[in-house]
Structure 1
Amino acid sequence: MASISSLGIGSGLDLNGLLDQLNAAERGKLKPIESQIKTQQVKISAYGELKGALSAFQTAANALNDASLYQSLSTSTTGEAIQAAAGADASLGRYEVEVETLASAGSYATARLEGIETLDDSVVSGGGTLQLQFAHANGGDGESVPISIDDNATLADIRDAINAEQAGVTASIVNDGDGYRLALMSTDTGEEASITGMDWSGVDLEAGVSFSTTATAVENVGKDAELTVNGIAISSPSNQVEGAIQGVTLNLTGEGSSTVKVEQNTRAVREAITGFVEAFNALKGTIGKLTAFTGDSETAGDLLGDSAVRSIESQLRSVLAGGVAAEEGGFAMLSDIGISLKLDGTLEIDQQRLDDVIANDQDALSAFFAGDTATGGLAGQLSEAITQLNGNNGALGGAISGAESRIESLNERYARMEQSIDATIARYRTQFGQLDGMIAQMNQTSDYLFQQFEMMNAQLGRK
């Protein structure tokens, strides 16, 4: 049988078109699987959105499950003399602070150096040791700090040697208009840290170099900060004063009067509880969107009728409504602190009641939300419930893994069916090729016979 290189050439039939139609019909069998895969992918995306909302709610619950939140303190100040920050061990109270003097750093400038014109000129011919003198250096260990100076050192070399030693001063060079001076500034404030002078006897100055007897050294002794707290006099070498008020750090910014109040940080607690309610209501909004029924399958929620969502709502509602075991005088239910569960499933705050609880019952509020163990309070119970829901055996975690497994199974089924379709089309192509060749052969035979009959008729006609 003759071989056909292209379908339809031998027979004249549109076998390629027919094969395409058969291929399209066969691949139509894949449509239901594709639809099922897309459905599961949409579900996984919706589950991811739900998981994000659950995570945000868990974060808000965890913030309330921290007992230190209810023990935090805040400071407020009036006046511009100080800023204040309270630590955990601060005592509640009101403090009147009068800043009389700010702490300052001492400074010292040498007499003008005569005999040098540029900073490249050598100041010291024979190196040695330069002594920096302090009012009370190194915490009482001595009153001077040695600085090693090289031979032929310039003023810039001396400056760099002092700075490299990190001796409690910063050295620089000042041009007073008529010549150069070496200037030093104490790195710490306070009288005891003051730089008071320099002893050059341990080095040999270059010939012709000397210190001016008219433009003499300039010394400014540092000062300690002087203040009173509730009338008690306090001296500090730094403008950051710790210990004057227990657990409070005062940063002195100017001279004058200020009032410091150390109070419970009610704002942080209020923001945490408000954030908790808002996060839960946002979660309810996400669930409502994902399970919405519109009567139109095109716009209905992606998780409409989903059992995992119903389980999540049921478990969270159970924890919220169940409350906690409370001691006498404590809070057992959300409603006790001014938070109610509405008919639509969202939470609502009675701001007046909540403000009263925050202002007067933070210990009981801590026991209600945080408890004395990780899951002893309502916030801990909610966080644990969400963790379980997200686990492999939880409602949401199981739903996600189930959808992923179904997609994997459908993909395998899709691949098998696609292979089967490809094999079927290949078989059709072979059969069509054989058909095309057979028809082509039959056409050739027909043409041959027709020619023979024509020749016979012509011969008979001549006779």
Structure 2
Amino acid sequence: MTVSLSTTGTASAGTVTSQGIGSGIDIASLVSSLVTSTIKPQQTLLQNNQAADQSTISALGALKSALSSLQTTVDAITTGGALSKFTTQSSDNSVFTATTSSGAVAGSYQMQIQTVAQVNTLRSTAFSSSSAAVGTGPYTFTAGGKSFSVTLDGTNDTLSGLASAINGASDNSGVSATIVNGSGGSYLLLSATQTGIANAVSVASSAPIGFSSIQSASDASGTIDGLPFDSASNTISNVLTGVTLSLASAAPNTTQTLTIGADTQSAATAVQSFVTAYNAALSLITSDTAFTPGSSTSGSGSSTGTAGPLLGDLAVESVSRQLESIVGGSAGSGGNAFTLLSQIGVTTNDDGTLAVNSDTLNSALQQNSSAVKGLFSGTNGIGTQLDTLLNTVVGAGGLISTKTSALQTEVDSMTTQLTQLTAKSAQLTAQYNAQFNAMDSIVAAYKNTASLLTQLYAPRTTSSSSSGS
């Protein structure tokens, strides 16, 4: 009897040649399902929590930006001088103009400009050309009480050489040299770089070259409300406190008027900028901490809608309440004409935002700009209170920075956990594949044995040509 044990195409000696060929199970799909059921719930939870934290971080960043913008407008009003600016008007701009800075006060002044400051200019004797020799040796120049020297030798003994040496001197104390080629010859012009008698130019040299004055140095002089002044410069900032005068020309014995008034337009713009920034910040907090119901309900009967990224954040909601309390309360120092924003035309809407009545604001600024400033500035000023609050929220180590840092730590931790889950997924896949492949090999071996036994004990067929007993 001959029995064939060939298992070609299925399995041989209990070895599986393809996953699942022994058991008939799709091992790859089974392993994938098992790994997914183990890893996916944790992965989804981490990803959802991470996305929520990142959304909150983004919302806090936007809020910090809005509150920082608000603080900038507050600082412009309280310490930046936005409510202390003045306008200046000269009755004759061809004679003088003026600008203001801190310390200026409104008023009208009668001015007379007798002289303006001038530079001293000297002219040399005439030479045949700019390349003509002028004489070697040292030349000493004095201006503004300081002196410097240059020396000519055979390499630069020309009129242009002297000009270059003067202009290139590292210790030049205030002299500018220029060559002028006229019909009568070439001349060297020496000019003081600064106006005023004290900055007049003088020359000392043993060389045979002479200089004559073609414009004398002079100081600016005049009177303000009958009080005399003088200055070496035409830019004068030490006569009227907080006022810089720029003299353009002299007008002896002629009276001009300087008028200084409050810059109500700049002040109104600063207040409007504050209101705009306040409304933007408050509206952002309101939307980020709100739940917006949807237009339908879910199958469970619960309402659908959108939750703001900062919904339920009590600290952020507290900031909103404090902002509203400050702008809606009284402020300013005792005795100040204005103690409420509404008195200068800034009122509160039903949703907490502010509105500006431009006519009322302009009237308050024109009639009493210092009282408007007092409402915002000072120990109890609205701007001062807001600045103190905002420092605790957006400043270094403030509320938003602390929250953002804590959330970022959580996000980083979850990133690490997600990485670990990815590694665990690969580990489980390898483990399950090994286990199921081992099972598949055993099943294949049993099938081989069953096939062998079936062939051994199968009924035999009797040949029709055999003899029987």
TM-score range, shorter chain: 0.7 to 0.9
> In the alignment, is residue 108 of structure 1 matched against residue 122 of structure 2?
yes
Alignment partner, residue 24 of structure 1: 36
Alignment partner, residue 286 of structure 1: 284
1:355 to 332, 354, 362: 362
CA deviation after TM superposition for structure 1 residue 422, in Å:
4.4
Q: Relative to structure 2, which stretch is displaced further, 40-49 or 345-354?
A: 345-354
Alignment partner, residue 335 of structure 1: 342
1:251 to 246, 251, 259: 246
CA deviation after TM superposition for structure 1 residue 25, in Å:
3.4
Q: Distance in 2 between matches of 1:393 and 1:248?
A: 41
> In the alignment, is residue 238 of structure 1 matched against residue 241 of structure 2?
no
2:172 to 166, 169, 177: 166
1:445 to 426, 443, 449: 449
Alignment partner, residue 387 of structure 1: 391
Alignment partner, residue 3 of structure 2: none
CA deviation after TM superposition for structure 1 residue 317, in Å:
2.1
Alignment partner, residue 431 of structure 2: 427
- Within-5 A mapping of 1:117-266: 119=131, 123-124=134-135, 127-132=136-141, 138-139=144-145, 147-152=149-154, 153-155=156-158, 156-163=160-167, 164=169, 165-176=171-182, 180-190=186-196, 193-195=199-201, 198=203, 200=205, 202-203=206-207, 219-222=213-216, 224=218, 225=220, 229=224, 236-254=231-249, 259-266=257-264
Letter of the 2:192 partner, please give it.
S
Structure 1 alignment gaps of length 5 or more: 206-210
Decide whether the 8 Å contact of 1:103 with 1:222 is kept in 2. Answer: no
Decide whether the 8 Å contact of 1:312 with 1:395 is kept in 2. Answer: no
Alignment CA distance shift 1:118-1:83 (3 Å): closer
CA deviation after TM superposition for structure 1 residue 129, in Å:
2.9
Q: Distance in 2 between matches of 1:90 and 1:263?
A: 9
Secondary structure at the counterpart of residue 331 of structure 1: coil
1:60 to 58, 65, 73: 73
Q: Distance in 1 between matches of 2:134 and 2:406?
A: 84
Structure 2 alignment gaps of length 5 or more: 1-12, 296-303
Q: Distance in 2 between matches of 1:406 and 1:242?
A: 58
Percent identity, please. Answer: 26
Q: Distance in 2 between matches of 1:146 and 1:309?
A: 68
CA deviation after TM superposition for structure 1 residue 457, in Å:
4.0
Deviation per residue, 1:18-58 (Å, 9 max, x gap) = 32333333333121331122122112211221222122222
Q: Distance in 1 between matches of 2:398 and 2:464?
A: 98
CA deviation after TM superposition for structure 1 residue 80, in Å:
2.4
Secondary structure at the counterpart of residue 195 of structure 2: coil
Q: Relative to structure 2, which stretch is displaced further, 406-415 or 178-187?
A: 406-415
Aligned pair count?
Answer: 435
Letter of the 2:163 partner, please give it.
R
Deviation per residue, 1:50-95 (Å, 9 max, x gap) = 2221222223233333396555544233432222123444453223
Q: Distance in 1 between matches of 2:161 and 2:16?
A: 97
Q: Distance in 1 between matches of 2:393 and 2:373?
A: 25
Q: Distance in 1 between matches of 2:397 and 2:199?
A: 66
Decide whether the 8 Å contact of 1:147 with 1:161 is kept in 2. Answer: no
Alignment CA distance shift 1:321-1:192 (3 Å): closer
CA deviation after TM superposition for structure 1 residue 5, in Å:
7.7
CA deviation after TM superposition for structure 1 residue 123, in Å:
4.6
Q: Distance in 2 between matches of 1:79 and 1:27?
A: 84
Alignment partner, residue 294 of structure 2: 295
Deviation per residue, 1:141-185 (Å, 9 max, x gap) = 9xxx56342432322442233231414311133344786433322
Letter of the 1:41 partner, please give it.
Q
Q: Distance in 1 between matches of 2:200 and 2:398?
A: 68
TM-score of the aligned structures, taking structure 1 as reference length: 0.77
Q: Distance in 1 between matches of 2:319 and 2:242?
A: 45
Q: Distance in 2 between matches of 1:393 and 1:154?
A: 69
Q: Distance in 2 between matches of 1:421 and 1:67?
A: 60
Q: Distance in 2 between matches of 1:95 and 1:282?
A: 44
Secondary structure at the counterpart of residue 69 of structure 2: helix
Letter of the 1:286 partner, please give it.
L
Q: Distance in 2 between matches of 1:314 and 1:233?
A: 58
Secondary structure at the counterpart of residue 172 of structure 1: strand
Q: Distance in 2 between matches of 1:361 and 1:414?
A: 64
Alignment partner, residue 95 of structure 1: 109
Decide whether the 8 Å contact of 1:10 with 1:436 is kept in 2. Answer: yes
Alignment CA distance shift 1:50-1:442 (3 Å): same
Q: Distance in 1 between matches of 2:71 and 2:182?
A: 66
TM-score of the aligned structures, taking structure 2 as reference length: 0.76
C-alpha RMSD over aligned residues: 3.9
- Within-5 A mapping of 1:304-343: 304-324=311-331, 327-328=334-335, 330-343=337-350
Decide whether the 8 Å contact of 1:189 with 1:222 is kept in 2. Answer: no
Q: Distance in 2 between matches of 1:247 and 1:255?
A: 23
Q: Distance in 1 between matches of 2:363 and 2:278?
A: 22
Q: Distance in 2 between matches of 1:35 and 1:416?
A: 17
